[in-house]
Chain A
């Protein structure tokens, strides 16, 4: 491959997701020379080859995201929204309820809704994840423009109107 890629991976901040952490760590083992960093949350598996943190301050997380060549994450909305705000190519693997990775299967639904957006690639298992990391650092996805850090004007207007109705009358 030659050039040194920076991979920033995150399982979010709320629940463990060792399947993803282990896959990224194994990729780091098999592909030395790249910069691999993982936010592992409360997982039991601690990476041996990749650098990691349990949970990073929000500003550092954002910096890691901004500087990486590839963002690897669970299919959490925090990851997706921030990835879109930074216009990063994203490789996402959904948590599955049957594997004890979340309380519901909503990440599969989110994956179905967001998987077709430019710059997003969804995989279902660890082997596919490892394969795609190699592919995407060599041939990156085309991403969309950075999105605004604010909601759609429609939602902002509705919420502002709701708040107007909540103003105390003196």
Chain B
């Protein structure tokens, strides 16, 4: 009768994606829809649904809005109950649209941000249900929680 709760797990390419994969075990019991930037990443998540959004890593504005469009379409189609992202900036769209549909959203700032929170993480703090950092000092400076690290 009830469908399995649905989760969108989203990350940009490279390290962000590797960090997201290291959370897989926490997603047990969820219908997980993965989102990243490269088609071939699908091999890392056998059996799961997978979407790509355009590579907007260098912050060109057009690509950034193309991500918005694709993110919006994915959200309408999948209607997730929760969203987890390990960044980076383009994935902020999932927090924005997640808010609109009432999903709970989690931003995990990259472990690469060892001295200060990323600029996208600072925005995520205002958008996400919960934002955490992976270094205790960074979390303390930002007045957010530290939940441990992907390592």
**Interface residues, chain A, CB within 8 Å of chain B?**
12-15, 55, 57-59, 76-82, 84, 103, 106-107, 109-110, 112-113, 147, 149-160, 162-163, 165-168, 170
Contacts and interface: CB of A to CB of B under 8 A. Distances in A.
Given A77-B15, A106-B115, A166 B149 contact: no
Interface of B: 1-2, 5, 7, 12-19, 21-28, 30, 38, 40-41, 43-44, 55, 57-59, 81-82, 84, 103-104, 106, 108, 110-115, 118, 129-130, 132, 134, 147-151
Nearest to B145: A158
* Secondary structure of the B contact surface, majority rule: loop
Given A58-B43, A109-B115, A15 B15 contact: no
Identify the 3 closest CB pairs spanning chains A and B, nearest first.
A154-B148, A77-B15, A155-B148
A59 B42 CA distance: 10
A158 B148 contact: yes
Nearest to A113: B114
Given A14-B57, A77-B110, A106-B112, A152 B26 contact: no
B100 to A, nearest CB: 16
A154 to B, nearest CB: 3
